[in-house]
Structure 1
Amino acid sequence: MRRPVSTPGPIAFDATLWDEPTTGIGLYTRCLAEALEAQGVRLDRMGARKSGEHPRGVQKRTSWTLATLPRLLKASPPPVYHALSNFNLPLRRTPGTAYVLTVHDLVPLDLPHTVSAPYRWQFRLWLARSLMLADRLVCISESTRQDLVRRFPQVEPRTVVVHNGVDHVNAAPLNEADEEFLHALNLPGDYVLYAGSLDVRKNVELVLEAQERLHARGRPFTLVLAGQAWYGSGKVEKRIERMRSEGLDVRPLGYQTPAIFYALMRRAALFVFPSRYEGFGLPPLEAMRLGTPTVVSTAGSLPEVCGDAAPAVEPDDAEGLAAVIDRLLRSPEERRALSEAGQRQAAKFTWARAAEGTRAAYDAALRHR
């Protein structure tokens, strides 16, 4: 089994989002760590709220990373420190330590209206500094890598693409309470699911517009929304309230545990995800892994990740989305074909492969140091 070269001690591994169940980066952190350890890589998990070897406790993520982390690294320099949250490397070099940074997306730069102004400026300034210090930049898609190089062409020689895995969806059994909750929802067998946050970037309004158009034509369907409110979601929430008052069957369920989240995916007739920008797009790939026919947009990394196994519409094409939903709900045969194609596509993305690519990035960072 190949190990990272020249690593006398464990990799210092950014765990600042380890204990945050609602974040995609938290999921990435836990799944990648498990896969790395399965391949013999020793990790020191740094900065989780309560987990790992160096928990931060009540200290905020930013202050811990800027003040506490550098002292920990200096006291016992690891061969590699791997930051996982887009921009959060320490502001100064730790002598003897190579820096690796995972970049998931450039949302605050490419879609600035979808995040708060303070976060946008924090992202912009801290990312610029981190890019100066990183020995290797792990991008979770070619789309993200191209976005990064377009803005910061000087980093191209230090970039590498390592796709996420999706095989974690197999590890979420239902307990009795979960089964009772799902039964109480009394969902029809042909509901359409959107799963993800309700923020502007995710473009949930396109799904709502498609539902309204089909309802007006006498083709109603049940739409289930599984995901928490986020920055800018107020407009979507008001529209949902109005549609429900007008008799459309929209069911916002909020955040759900992984077991229920994936059960909703598995049981849906169709999964719809018309996001305006994704660095990777894990929810549609999760649905495909579970055998659920999936519709996405043509934006960001979604064509790269989903390939030909998911019909894609332009992110402003409500009529096109309505037509695809209507066609697929009417055609069990096409849904079965998409289910099989989606499972084949999703099988290409495993956390073991992500760990292999990440280990190669550690190797390259150590040579570059």
Structure 2
Amino acid sequence: MRRLVSIGSIAFDATLWDEPTTGIGLYTRCLAGALEARGVSLEKLGARDSGDHPRGNGGRTAWTLARLPKLLERSRPALYHALGNFNLPLTRVPGTAYVLTVLDLIPLIMPDTVSAKFRWQFRLWLSRSLLLADQVLCISARTRDDLLERFPEVASRAVVVPIGVDHVNAPVLDATSADYLRSLALPKDYVLYAGSLDVRKNVDLVLDAMERLRAQGRPASLVLAGQSWFGSGRVESRIARLRAEGHDIRPLGYQAEPVFYELMRRAALFVFPSRYEGFGLPPLEAMRLGTPAIVSTAGSLPEVCGDAALAVRPDDAEGLAESIHRLLRSPEERRAFAERGRARAAEFTWKRTAEGTLAAYEAALRR
């Protein structure tokens, strides 16, 4: 087991720890567990209700800018790790190394998919954080490439540390969850999309494919599991219109993990034609559960999924429709993709993520 050199305490950004619907929250909790399993002592700072110094009902930005520097000055940890793309303190705390995780650069790459306020906050705060960071963790090679295209000066400090997927296992349902799933009366071979309904996720392409399949006399049932997000109103209106026209489309909204993963496990196939991902965890989760996936050729999805998933261009509705029909009519091909998907997903473990993170901590402390 890899162990850190003796470095003292590590202060750990927990500002999204209590947020179950965010990918950063999942990353925070899983990485903390994997580090602690290797004997690393973490001081969890800034969670809403839990950890060592909860912030209460205050906002994350105000807490990070005003309260966090004072906490770090008092406790003087050897290292502080910020996990939210850009949220290091604005000034250096003497004696404390800084590590920053960058998951994606969506506000810079697809500015229309976030609010103007958040876009400016991201750009300015990220620029400052990169000046101060001793090491920058990128969760994929694509994220690192995108970062260096805009900030080439961090090349010597930016490393790729992929995230894990072995937090996903066959879910154990309580009686209420099992009753809920039975009440849905889902068809045997449904197509699942899981994720937020924002523009970047390209749910419109899935709906385009559904319309094509029905027009061709090859209708498919679609289940959507995910919350509303910035700019999702238009997609939700279109879903309502298609349902009124007779399409079997079932928007279920946000689901707690046991139900979410059971929906994923039971699906005939999983579709995720996102226009950009810094990593793209949902298709890898589906693959771990043995559900064949269809993804786009955009962002990090080819890097993460490899040849274990079918891939279509993010503007190719006909290609997506044909891929869906191809897999729905071929149980043998679905089984083959399921086997390849499980093998691919097995390569991404939180142990591996922790090992890469520890190496970055050591490098930061040597600077």
Letter in 2 for 1:207: V
Contact kept, 8 Å, 1:5 with 1:366, in 2: the verdict is no
Match of 1:164 in 2: 163
SS in structure 1 at match of 2:20: coil
Amino acid at match of 2:196: S
The equivalent of 1:130 in structure 2 is: 129
Matches of 1:230 and 1:204, distance apart in 2 = 12
* 1:58, distance to aligned residue in structure 2 (A): 1.4
Distance 1:311 1:171, change over 3 A: closer
* Residue 350 (structure 2) aligns with: 351
Q: Which amino acid aligns with 2:341?
A: G
Distance 1:172 1:336 in 2: 20
Show the counterpart of 2:325.
326
Q: Which residue of 1 aligns with 2:5?
A: 5
Q: Which residue of 2 aligns with 1:304?
A: 303
Query: Structure 1: which 5+ runs fail to align?
Result: none
Unpaired segments ≥5 residues, structure 2 = none
1:68-96 deviations in Å (ceiling 9; x for gaps): 00000001110110000000000000100
Distance 2:43 2:73 in 1: 14
Q: Determine if contact 1:272/1:294 at 8 Å carries over to the other structure.
A: yes
* Residues in 2 aligned to 1:194 and 1:2: alpha-carbon distance in whole angstroms: 38
1:94 maps to 93
CA contact (8 A) 2:165 2:345 kept: yes
* Residue 174 (structure 1) shift: 1.0
1:295 partnered with 2:294: yes
Q: Which residue of 1 aligns with 2:44?
A: 45
What is the rounded CA distance, in whole Å, between the counterparts of 2:293 and 2:304 in structure 1? Answer: 12
Q: 1:33 and 2:32 equivalent? A: yes
Distance 1:275 1:57 in 2: 34
Q: Say whether 1:360 aligns with 2:353.
A: no
Of 53-62 and 194-203, the range deviating more from structure 2: 53-62
Contact between 1:17 and 1:25, CA under 8 Å: does it hold in 2? yes
1:224-276: per-residue Cα shift (whole Å, max 9, x none)? 00000000101100110110000000000000000000000000000000000
Q: Output the CA distance in 2 between the equivalents of 1:200 and 1:111.
A: 10
Contact kept in structure 2, 1:162 and 1:358, CA below 8 Å: yes
What SS does the aligned partner of 2:168 have? helix
Alignment-derived partner of residue 142 in structure 1: 141
Deviation at 1:170, TM superposition (A): 1.5
Quote the offset at 1:302 in angstroms.
Answer: 0.2
2:170–2:261 CA contact under 8 A, matched in 1: no
2:335 is matched with 336
**Cα offset for 1:5?**
2.3
Q: Tell me the amino acid that sits aligned with residue 188 of structure 1.
A: P
Moved more, 164-173 or 285-294: 164-173
| 1:198 alignment counterpart | 197
Read off the aligned partner of 2:176 and give its amino acid letter: A
Amino acid at match of 1:4: L
* Superposition deviation, residue 66 in structure 1: 0.2
Q: Show the counterpart of 2:108.
A: 109
Q: 1:99 to 1:171 in 2, by over 3 A?
A: farther
> Superposition pairs for residues 57-76 of structure 1, below 5 Å?
57-76=56-75
Alignment partner of 1:278: what SS? coil
TM-score (norm 1): 0.99
Q: What secondary structure, in the 3-state scheme, does the structure 1 residue paired with 2:11 have?
A: strand
Contact persistence 1:6–1:366 (CA under 8 A): no
2:64 partner amino acid: T
Q: CA deviation at 1:6?
A: 3.6
Q: Does 1:24 align with 2:23?
A: yes
Alpha-carbon distance in structure 2 between the residues aligned to 1:63 and 1:173: 39
Q: Aligned residues: percent identity? A: 72
Matching of residue 119 in structure 1 with residue 118 in structure 2: yes
What is the rounded CA distance, in whole Å, between the counterparts of 1:321 and 1:134 in structure 2?
41
- Computed over aligned residues only, the root mean square deviation of the Cα atoms, in angstroms, reads 0.7
Q: Distance in 2 between matches of 1:77 and 1:5?
A: 18
Task: Give the counterpart letter for 2:283 in structure 1.
Answer: P
Measure, in 2, the Cα distance between the counterparts of 1:190 and 1:170: 21
Matches of 1:353 and 1:160, distance apart in 2: 14
CA contact (8 A) 2:278 2:299 kept: yes
SS at match of 1:169: coil
- Specify the code of the residue in structure 1 equivalent to 2:347: K
- Secondary structure of 1:21's match? coil
Provide the rounded CA distance (Å) in 2 between the counterparts of 1:126 and 1:173: 41
Maintained 8 Å contact 2:140/2:278: yes
1:212 alignment partner in structure 2: 211
SS at match of 1:316: coil
In 2, are the aligned partners of 1:274 and 1:297 still within 8 Å (CA)? yes
What is the distance in 2 between the residues matched to 1:186 and 1:112? Answer: 39
Number of equivalences:
367
Q: Deviations over 1:166-213 (max 9, x none)?
A: 011127421110100000000011000000000000000000000000
Q: Displacement of 1:2 after TM fit?
A: 2.8
| TM-score, length of structure 2 as denominator length | 0.99
Task: Give the distance between the partners of 1:2 and 1:301, measured in 2 at CA.
Answer: 28
d(CA) in 2 for partners of 1:58 and 1:181?
Answer: 32
Query: What residue in structure 1 maps to residue 312 of structure 2?
Result: 313
- Contact 1:196-1:226 within 8 A present in 2 as well: yes
* 1:160 to partner: Cα distance: 0.6
